[in-house]
């Protein structure tokens, strides 16, 4: 059965519904298309470990994205995403979350449930603060939150014992 599907550099405006009927699919790449939404049926891809949608027109993400329990890499940079599913913390296997260059105002508190998270890339968004629950992501090694509207260094950073790289340049830090 098909395990890896690469459909980069096409003209898709939506994820074709038939793609959600591939239970063995492990990696799905749809970079540089025109996709505006992810279908709720994405949750049917129970084996999916990598979902990469760089440079599309995404704004809203379905709550069912949180049902992808096998997901290890979620990369959606260069979109117009304004909010993340509240159930994001259900993605306990997630190691890389790349949401740079979007329109995020905040991360959900549930991100603390992403206990395998090692890389969080959220630079160039609209965030004023990072949730204290981020401190529960004990394996986090890289936190990149430059070019936001952060006004303080997140207290959670003090609890991240594995943190090796912290990027907070071009913010509004004063405390």
Please provide the DSSP assignment of 17-82 as one string. GGGGG-TT--EEE--SS------GGGGG-TT--EEE--SS------GGGGG-TT--EEE--SS---
pLDDT at 156: 87
Cross-strand pairs, 103: none
pLDDT at 17: 86
pLDDT at 84: 97
Rounded distance between C-alpha atoms, residue 79 and residue 100, angstroms: 9
pTM for this entry: 0.97
pLDDT at 155: 84
- Report which secondary-structure segment, H or E, holds 166: strand 165-167
10-residue stretch averages of pLDDT, the chain, 175 residues long? 98 93 97 97 97 98 97 99 97 99 98 98 97 96 98 90 97 90
Could you give the angle at the alpha carbon of 122 between the alpha carbons of 56 and 66, nearest 5°? 70
pLDDT at 38: 96
Give all domains of the chain, ordered by start, each with its CATH number.
4-167 (3.80.10.10)
């Amino acid at each position: 059965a098909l395990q890896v599907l690469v459909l980069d550099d096409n003209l898709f405006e939506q994820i074709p519904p038939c793609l959600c009927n591939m239970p063995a699919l492990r990696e799905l790449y749809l970079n540089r298309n025109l996709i505006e939404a992810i279908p709720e049926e994405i949750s049917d891809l129970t084996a999916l470990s990598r979902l990469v949608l760089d440079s599309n027109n995404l704004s809203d993400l379905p709550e069912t994205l949180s049902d992808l329990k096998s997901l290890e890499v979620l990369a959606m940079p260069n979109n117009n995403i304004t909010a993340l599913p509240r159930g994001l913390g259900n993605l306990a296997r997630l190691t890389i979350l790349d949401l740079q260059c979007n329109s995020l105002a905040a991360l959900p508190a549930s991100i603390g449930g992403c206990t395998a998270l090692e890389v969080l890339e959220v630079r160039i968004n609209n965030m004023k603060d990072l949730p204290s629950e981020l401190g529960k992501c004990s394996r986090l090694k890289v936190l990149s939150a430059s070019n936001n509207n952060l006004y303080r260094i997140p207290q959670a950073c003090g609890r991240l014992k594995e943190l090796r790289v912290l990027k907070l340049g071009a913010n509004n830090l004063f405390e």
